[in-house]
Amino acid sequence: MSKKKKNPPVEDEAMSNEAEINSSIPTEEIEESEVTVEEPIVLEPIEVLEKDLQETKDELEEQKDKFIRLQAETDNFRKRLSREKEEFSQYANERLFKELIPIFDNFERALEDPSNEIKSLKEGLDMILKQFNTFLEKEKVEPIKAIGEKFNPEFHEALTSEESNDHEEDTIISQFVKGYKINNRVLRPSQVIIAKKPVVVVEDIPDEEENVQKEENSTK
């Protein structure tokens, strides 16, 4: 019987081929083909300082530009705020004047009334006063209570004081000028007169010795 030759495995054949190729390349070429590592560049101390100085200058220049822009924005905002405040003030005054002009018109009509009757003039003034009170209420302006109230320096201004047996001390008994407040903030304090306790005059009472002496003198 004839023996059949076995074929070598494919892997063994590939490995043998690779070994033959590697053995055919010189070792010097293999070493030169390896990756070379670049050495770090070492700067001189002066170069390092110059580099840091330049970076600092660049950073300062950048911060300066930011500051200039921020200052310009702040100035523009301040000017815009001032302009808006002025416009708001003008608008508020315009609105108040529109409310006051009709009251002024009624004053003129009352004074120009050809009848010149006291009764009709008084009725016209009463109407104007009611109109003005309505205007104050609309603007949340209200008079400060005074007569009969306890004196409060926050709302009242004492002009003088008077002795009174009918009122407690520091009670407001009279008012010269009416005060007003808006939203609990004083526009003008009330000018008032307050009560104080009367001064009690104590008469001198003679001693008993003085009375005895007087009796003796009278009997002589």
Q: What is the pLDDT of residues 54-79, one digit of tens each?
A: 888 888 888 888 899 998 999 898 99
Q: Which helix (H) or strand (E) holds 192?
A: strand 190-196
Residue 169 lies in a domain: yes
pLDDT band at 5 (very low <50, low <70, confident <90, very high): very low
Q: What is the pLDDT of residue 214?
A: 61
> What 8-state DSSP symbol labels residue 204?
P
- Per the structure, the count of domains in the chain is 2
Q: Which amino acid is at 45?
A: P
Q: Is the pTM of this model over 0.75?
A: no
Could you tell me the residue range of the domain that residue 157 belongs to? 141-200
pLDDT band at 160 (very low <50, low <70, confident <90, very high): very high
Report the CATH number that the domain containing residue 95 is assigned in CATH. Answer: 3.90.20.20
DSSP assignment of 45-107:
HHHHHHHHHHHHHHHHHHHHHHHHHHHHHHHHHHHHHHHHHHHHHHHHHHHHHHHHHHHHHHH
Question: Which tens digit of pLDDT belongs to each residue from 12-26?
Answer: 554 555 555 455 555
Summarize the confidence of residues 197-206 as an average pLDDT. 68
Task: Give the span between the Cα atoms of 49 and 58, in whole angstroms.
Answer: 14
Strands 185-188 and 172-177: unpaired
| Burial 155-184, CB ≥16 within 10 A → b, else e | bbeeeebeebeebeebbbbebeeebebeee
Of the candidates 160, 158, 141, 140, the residue with the CA atom closest to the CA atom of residue 149: 158
Lowest mean pLDDT, pick from 20-24, 74-78, 196-200, 208-212: 20-24
Residue 157 above 90 pLDDT? yes
**Whether 76 and 118 share a structural domain:** yes
Q: What is the pLDDT of residue 51?
A: 81
**Whether 177 and 92 share a structural domain:** no
Residue 83 lies in a domain: yes
* Averaged confidence pLDDT in the chain: 78
